[in-house]
Structure 1
Amino acid sequence: MTEPRRNPVAIIESLDFEGHGVAHVDGKTVFIDGALPFERVEYSSYRKKPGFENAQAVAILRESFMRVRPKCQHFGVCGGCSMQHVDASAQVAAKQRVLEDNLNRIGNVRAQTLLAPIYGPTWGYRHRARLSARYVAKKGTVLVGFHEKRSSFIADMQSCEILPKKISDLLLPLRELVMNLSIRERMPQVELAVGDAVDVLVLRVMEPLTPADEELVRAFADRHAVQFWLQPKGRRPPTPSTRSTRRR
């Protein structure tokens, strides 16, 4: 009886700008999702080209000191971020190294002096985002969130650790709001813009809101102290729809 074929194994050398582990196997560059420098991983390829492969780590045989436990319950399925399994300080160091390599390789520039990197918040830092919205008949609900990794499906998100908490807490209420709109199948996108004084949600609408829809949107805006803007079909810019009467 023959043994089942094992997946190939690689030792990760570095990270690319998208957070993929980079390895070289049999003269070919392999970009491996979920793998970190200094790790020995078993991987499965999902795209093969003559000069490179894209793959997914299926087993970590030796862990890197950079690896941490992702905070978000949706990490690995949701495609909204790719480096939650990397220690925050290591993320900054990796991004700086990618910048230095690009300047050297593409621009033929080497920095004479390197300043210390500027660190921002580890969580809740994303104040601009474009979320997809879709009515899923089989589930009998609306999903609002980022796309799943390498997929056109929308992740079934209950929360998001990279969005400010006040916006993350709106994900489920937003799903309910869109579900109750008459144009729920004609509203594919919600864009977020979080400011110091106001939070704006831009609804991409393929058809005009009905008076009943407008009442629902206005009540939501007042209840959650946000503004709604509408971006109609075509290239027309968004326009204000509601302004909450509440202050933060």
Structure 2
Amino acid sequence: MPSRKPPSIFRNATRRNAGKSPQGGSKKPSKATPEVEIQRFSHEVRGIARHQGKTVFVDNALPGETVRIRYTANRAKFDEAVATEVLTASPDRQTPPCPHAEVCGGCALQQMTPAAQIDAKQQILLDQLSRFARATPEQVLPPLTGSTLGYRRKARLGVRFVKPKSGGKASLVLGFREKGSNDLTDVEQCPVLPAEASALIPQLREAILQCEGRRNISHIEIAAGEDHTALVIRHLQPLSEEDRERWLDFAKQHQLHLYLQGEQGDANTHKVWPESGPARLNYALPAFDLTLNFHPQDFIQVNFEINRQMVSLALELLDVQPEDRVLDLFCGLGNFTLPLATRAREVVGVEGLFSLTERARENASANGIDNVRFQAADLTEDFSRSPWARGGFDRILLDPPRNGALEVVRNIGQFNAKAILYISCNPATLARDTAELIQQGYVLRKAGVMDMFPHTTHVESIALFEKA
């Protein structure tokens, strides 16, 4: 079944990998520190330079800049490096809003103004479509933008005890993965989290240190809904009664929902505070008078502001009519399905994870929507003959994971839908799937980017295809 994992920028590492390039296969990096000029961005939003006839991918550098670099990997066809000194700065360079930006791998573009970030991502989308699908949208949509700080409603803080190289007592490291490493960056704050969640980080550090079983805590997840914030404490061994009480007291003091996740991982996550009420948070889609509930570990769009804009734009582009039958693939917990149902005759939502289809049914019931059906199915298989797919669809929405929806689009033409809307978190797989949709007789009418993850290299986009 397709994976429903969120982008990995805030997932903690599982092992130490100091000094190694994440791509592997390189010899020991050169100790040279040459000056290079950054020509443009790669599709990964890394600076591209040439030195001694070889391409160099440079982190922390912007197009048009002259920088001094330190090599991190030397390979047969290209090298990798990081800018250690900016000799000639781009007008798009800014002071990062986070004090941990130089080492933390969560945000790779904080040195770049938000406007320049979104311009670069739009160009990457258009370049990928042109290069791999030989397609240009008839209309480039204005980018969807919003707050660039305090936007991220979910994150995972890694917990590790590390001994100094000189020996001595191990110290607690609490934070996110470092750039180019599986080590953790020790953080005191995170400006892309909501302010109240960021302010919890130093207090979480103290709470961990007070625990008897502190070394059995592997990570802490923070999930913020509209009204409440939840903590998920991952512990590799059962908590002592004293430690359980410490976390309960912490949750009560900070008015948090508390979940414990035991040795069996996600399957053993349970809410312990408040004792009453459902184990759910929620977010609102005011334009459709909808409220969607989610478990803290469910896949959701973590930028609520952009999500609201995206859902409204999706329905505008798809132009759903009252008589339409609509198919929502990779539907999750109903983020698009339920708004679509307020416009259409019937909507069928299909998702690879059974737990999310159950959540979607809960959300439909809670919002009084009865013209939807949800189905758990493996979308890597041909589903065209499945009972739920019979009867055809007038319009189709796709919101696949990063590996795209190639298996889906190869079979989608038989539905003869008037319009297909593709929500993408990876322009490379969108471009690949665009080429397939064009072969199926569709035309790329409109496409644009959405600033779902400011300061990161993730490129979120939306594309409308119509039958030729």
Instruction: Report the count of equivalent residues.
Output: 241
SS of the aligned residue for 1:146 comes to strand
- The answer to whether the 8 A contact 1:42-1:58 is kept is yes
- Asked if 1:53 is matched to 2:84, the reply is no
In structure 2, the CA distance between the partners of 1:109 and 1:40, relative to structure 1 (3 Å rule), is: same
Alpha-carbon distance, 1:48 to partner:
1.1
Paired residue for 2:273, among 232, 238, 242? 242
Alpha-carbon distance, 1:139 to partner:
5.7
SS of the aligned residue for 1:204 comes to strand
SS of the aligned residue for 1:188 comes to strand
User: What is the aligned partner in structure 2 of residue 34 from structure 1?
Assistant: 60
Paired residue for 2:199, among 169, 182, 203? 169
- Asked if 1:135 is matched to 2:141, the reply is no
Paired residue for 2:237, among 198, 203, 207? 207
CA distance in structure 1 between the aligned counterparts of 2:255 and 2:43, rounded to whole angstroms: 37
CA distance in structure 2 between the aligned counterparts of 1:133 and 1:105, rounded to whole angstroms: 42
SS of the aligned residue for 1:230 comes to strand
TM-score, with structure 1 as normaliser: 0.89
TM-score, with structure 2 as normaliser: 0.49
- Asked if 1:198 is matched to 2:224, the reply is no
Q: Name which of structure 1's ranges 87-96 and 13-22 shifts more when overlaid on structure 2.
A: 13-22
Alpha-carbon distance, 1:17 to partner:
4.6
- The answer to whether the 8 A contact 2:103-2:185 is kept is yes
Alpha-carbon distance, 1:41 to partner:
1.5
SS of the aligned residue for 1:47 comes to strand
User: What is the aligned partner in structure 2 of residue 119 from structure 1?
Assistant: 145
Give, as a single letter, the amino acid of the residue that structure 2 aligns with 1:101. D
CA distance in structure 2 between the aligned counterparts of 1:244 and 1:87, rounded to whole angstroms: 45
- The answer to whether the 8 A contact 1:79-1:146 is kept is yes
Which of the pair has the greater relative contact order for Cα pairs under 8 Å at 6+ separation?
2
Give, as a single letter, the amino acid of the residue that structure 2 aligns with 1:240. K
SS of the aligned residue for 2:202 comes to helix
Structure 1 residues 139-187: Cα deviation after superposition (integer angstroms, max 9, x where no partner): 6543221122223332221111111110110001101111112221111
- The answer to whether the 8 A contact 1:227-1:244 is kept is no
User: What is the aligned partner in structure 1 of residue 177 from structure 2?
Assistant: 147
Paired residue for 1:22, among 48, 57, 65? 48
In structure 2, the CA distance between the partners of 1:134 and 1:244, relative to structure 1 (3 Å rule), is: farther
- The answer to whether the 8 A contact 2:68-2:83 is kept is yes
Alpha-carbon distance, 1:106 to partner:
3.0
Paired residue for 1:189, among 200, 204, 219? 219
Give, as a single letter, the amino acid of the residue that structure 1 aligns with 2:60. G
- The answer to whether the 8 A contact 1:225-1:244 is kept is no
In structure 2, the CA distance between the partners of 1:227 and 1:97, relative to structure 1 (3 Å rule), is: same
SS of the aligned residue for 1:98 comes to helix
Q: Runs of at least 4 residues of structure 1 off by over 3 A?
A: 16-19, 136-141
Structure 1 residues 19-55: Cα deviation after superposition (integer angstroms, max 9, x where no partner): 4211233443211111101111121211011121110
Paired residue for 2:133, among 93, 107, 114? 107
Alpha-carbon distance, 1:16 to partner:
3.2
Give, as a single letter, the amino acid of the residue that structure 2 aligns with 1:204. R
Paired residue for 2:121, among 95, 102, 122? 95
Alpha-carbon distance, 1:101 to partner:
1.7
In structure 2, the CA distance between the partners of 1:141 and 1:103, relative to structure 1 (3 Å rule), is: same
Unmatched runs of 5 consecutive residues or more in structure 1: none
CA distance in structure 1 between the aligned counterparts of 2:82 and 2:93, rounded to whole angstroms: 16
Unmatched runs of 5 consecutive residues or more in structure 2: 1-30, 277-468
Paired residue for 2:262, among 228, 232, 238? 232
SS of the aligned residue for 2:87 comes to strand
CA distance in structure 2 between the aligned counterparts of 1:141 and 1:9, rounded to whole angstroms: 37
- Asked if 1:159 is matched to 2:194, the reply is no
CA distance in structure 2 between the aligned counterparts of 1:98 and 1:177, rounded to whole angstroms: 43
Q: Name which of structure 1's ranges 208-217 and 230-239 shifts more when overlaid on structure 2.
A: 230-239
CA distance in structure 1 between the aligned counterparts of 2:262 and 2:237, rounded to whole angstroms: 7
CA distance in structure 1 between the aligned counterparts of 2:53 and 2:244, rounded to whole angstroms: 60
Give, as a single letter, the amino acid of the residue that structure 1 aligns with 2:141. L
Q: Name which of structure 1's ranges 202-211 and 101-110 shifts more when overlaid on structure 2.
A: 101-110
User: What is the aligned partner in structure 1 of residue 94 from structure 2?
Assistant: 68
CA distance in structure 1 between the aligned counterparts of 2:258 and 2:161, rounded to whole angstroms: 20
- The answer to whether the 8 A contact 1:32-1:54 is kept is yes
Q: Name which of structure 1's ranges 131-140 and 39-48 shifts more when overlaid on structure 2.
A: 131-140
- The answer to whether the 8 A contact 1:14-1:36 is kept is yes
Q: Name which of structure 1's ranges 24-33 and 84-93 shifts more when overlaid on structure 2.
A: 24-33
Percent identity (aligned): 34
Give, as a single letter, the amino acid of the residue that structure 2 aligns with 1:180. Q
| Larger Rg belongs to | 2
Give, as a single letter, the amino acid of the residue that structure 1 aligns with 2:273. T
